[in-house]
Structure 1
């Protein structure tokens, strides 16, 4: 910094401020004595650009969307919510959380063993995660994230001026030793997907949860964020980590079970964290529409979605594809949710060959940091008649997978 200040003829504090601004905006990454480097691309560019354009006639199994046929119809729920809002209008100064929604959420969380805490509402899981991170961390702080993991989250962390620390994943969730190394190296927060992990389908089992809680208790000041976005579409039990650290948040979204366009997630956590998030939320959007919250209550009360049936449907499609791939000698992962992850030796070639064969899959680069290449296949709308041909096409495109692990 001193050398640059002399070269430019400016004060060293000016150079330091410039570096700080570049880091906060995600343009550069700093690594202490190892110096700083320009990121390969601006943090806000987004991994969503790493996608395949699906030509006409090509089957799209890349989009990550739920099956529209399994989503509830919303007209009746919103009509009932609108009628309630006509009778009981929500005005400035009212509670930002619909009381009945809070009651239903709390009862469900109690049943799943999530510790008690205040209830708050956000506009989807990513909105909740962003608000929680900003409530506790400062630019330059390290965040342990799953690798492979949710592409939008891998974009969000550096966009906030934070630094990602990759944590390996297997079928049971984040690897315990990787989480320990990340925390010992200075990570101030860790983000864990409990079930239906995107893109691998991993789900945290009982033994892994005990091991992770033990590691987290050794670092009680760590901010723990759990994302249970698969609630309502999974057939594996929840093993929450919440409460293992002083500051924690547990997030649930309705996107996969009731529809992405509702833009609704609920979360609980320690009182300090939730209070910080709700306080900052009041200075921005104020609250998530109580009309939407009331519609969610109606959907919940009416049992608009048979969660067992939905989970069974996704599970059958997912398991069928994993079995069909195994018959062709291709290892694949998909313990829960609506995606299957296939490690491949040549990601670009595999995607291109599958596209030529009539199948559009998601390039693994959208979800990877240090993990070797792979492809993600969304099975949510895959039919029984399509499973065999898809597995055969994958086998021809990728050959036997290099290993049965992600890293």
Structure 2
């Protein structure tokens, strides 16, 4: 993506500006409902005349991508739902763009606050630069050499044919479930292989739990700030999302108690260790209070331990205290190893296992045996553990550099830096900042994305692994100063 409009290009400045904005709308970097910058502000940002901006906005309106609201400005429309308003050729182009650029599993045109984060997962970089808002570790950190060797070993001889011509075990490969049970034991979580079900990533595990235990309209407590995709997923299923403020020790127990008394929630979903985006880890005292509340009011605690491989084994976990009575444990390997393999798992109370297994079978039948056997072999030989240790060392070094650069750039850490992500206060509205930085080729994760109800927010989440570049922080400082001067 070019950083400025070209006066020597084959397209006019109006056409270039309209195309740039149209691309962002179709990629959901400007989600439906977003207000475009005012004509004066956009002209100043792009160093063009107000006439050029007005003409570009008119082009977008003619294409059905934005709408003008009297006295309020221009707003992004739900462009896929409005395709009939376009001319046939424009509709085909827009539909093709949506089909080829929208990640599988997302509904084109849906009003999903997580859009920018999802794009960051599927696009390694914008303009070839490391992305501050990325939700994954750099590819060069993920050494998969030992995985390739494991795949060759488990696929030799009859193993390959068996994995190709038969469905896998319904619960998941037995060797992997046994390895997972041993891994969970080291975390203090008592789960037998018969309580473990493998899934297509931790996200599918969350989806299985929701589909098995909830009905549309059911209230679900979710941490705020929290994982934007979880808000969107639950809302798309018709659930009532109840945001619970998350602090350094754990959730706001008073808020949870009020929900329990008035809403009768069915689930509480928590990233207890190295919380996304704050990096907080649950205290043992808070975990105990949550479990007592779950027992009194009859809801299940869903513990998403996605970052377990880069977290201390001794960190308190709800499921360790509860011994899987009112809790369900979920994790996976996408954050630290082979994201594309989509290997995840859940461990549940015995009385829920069959219901959760039925839901898995209805959605995917089975999970890929070959990859699960290879993962089991890596766990049994200690290769995954050694890989995780190397990642923790890389992250510790990256975190130190990134924190220093962020503080030099004027950011304040809202939470003590820990794990993979930092939660920083920039002092300016980060949704506006995001669009400015996108012009410079940087994709950030604005704070509004991590709240159930969207609103102005001065925080952003940074990935310590991808914010060690001083060049980004110089661009960041310039953009923030411009916003402050314009205020």
TM-score range, shorter chain: 0.7 to 0.9
Q: Tell me, yes or no, if structure 1 residue 361 matches structure 2 residue 444.
A: yes
Deviation at 1:71, TM superposition (A): 1.5
CA RMSD of aligned residues (A): 3.0
Deviation at 1:226, TM superposition (A): 0.6
Alpha-carbon distance between aligned partners in 2 of 1:372 and 1:208, rounded to the nearest angstrom: 30
Alpha-carbon distance between aligned partners in 1 of 2:134 and 2:377, rounded to the nearest angstrom: 29
Alpha-carbon distance between aligned partners in 1 of 2:271 and 2:463, rounded to the nearest angstrom: 18
Alpha-carbon distance between aligned partners in 2 of 1:85 and 1:165, rounded to the nearest angstrom: 51
Which deviates further from its counterpart, 223-232 or 243-252?
243-252
Greater length-normalized contact order (CA 8 Å, ≥ 6 residues apart): 1
Alignment of structure 1 residues 82-231 onto 2, 5 Å: 82-83=155-156, 86=159, 89-90=162-163, 91-92=166-167, 94=169, 96-117=171-192, 118-186=195-263, 187-219=265-297, 221-231=298-308
Q: Tell me, yes or no, if structure 1 residue 312 matches structure 2 residue 393.
A: yes
Contact 2:334 2:343 (8 Å CA) reproduced: yes
Contact 2:403 2:417 (8 Å CA) reproduced: no
Contact 2:168 2:369 (8 Å CA) reproduced: no
How many residues in Structure 1 have an aligned counterpart in Structure 2?
356
Contact 1:123 1:264 (8 Å CA) reproduced: yes
Alignment of structure 1 residues 341-356 onto 2, 5 Å: 341-344=423-426, 345-355=428-438
TM (normalized to structure 2)?
A: 0.66
Deviation at 1:79, TM superposition (A): 1.5
Alignment of structure 1 residues 5-404 onto 2, 5 Å: 44=107, 45=110, 46-50=112-116, 55-56=126-127, 58-73=129-144, 74-83=147-156, 86=159, 89-90=162-163, 91-92=166-167, 94=169, 96-117=171-192, 118-186=195-263, 187-219=265-297, 221-235=298-312, 237-242=314-319, 243=322, 246-305=325-384, 306=386, 307-327=388-408, 329-332=410-413, 333=415, 335-344=417-426, 345-355=428-438, 359-370=442-453, 373=457, 374-383=459-468, 386=469, 388-391=470-473, 393-395=475-477, 397-398=479-480
Which structure has more helix as a fraction of its residues? 2
Q: Matched residue of 1:64: which SS?
A: coil
Q: Matched residue of 2:383: which SS?
A: coil
Deviation at 1:152, TM superposition (A): 1.4
Deviation at 1:315, TM superposition (A): 2.8
Deviation at 1:84, TM superposition (A): 6.3
Contact 2:222 2:241 (8 Å CA) reproduced: yes
Q: In structure 1, list runs of 5 or more residues that go unmatched.
A: 1-39, 400-407
Quick one: structure 1 residues 133 and 249, their matched pair in 2 at CA, closer, same or farther if it must change by over 3 Å?
same
Q: In structure 2, list runs of 5 or more residues that go unmatched.
A: 1-76, 82-105, 482-487
Q: Matched residue of 2:412: which SS?
A: coil
Residues 69-120 of structure 1 show CA distances to partners (whole Å, capped at 9, x for unaligned) of 2213132222122226537825358453222212211112122122335111
Deviation at 1:375, TM superposition (A): 1.5
Residues 118-149 of structure 1 show CA distances to partners (whole Å, capped at 9, x for unaligned) of 11101111111111111111111000111121
Quick one: structure 1 residues 89 and 245, their matched pair in 2 at CA, closer, same or farther if it must change by over 3 Å?
closer
Alpha-carbon distance between aligned partners in 2 of 1:71 and 1:253, rounded to the nearest angstrom: 15
Alpha-carbon distance between aligned partners in 1 of 2:206 and 2:435, rounded to the nearest angstrom: 34
Residues 203-239 of structure 1 show CA distances to partners (whole Å, capped at 9, x for unaligned) of 22333323333333332x1021110010212347331
Residue of structure 2 equivalent to 1:8: none
Deviation at 1:334, TM superposition (A): 5.5
TM (normalized to structure 1)?
A: 0.77
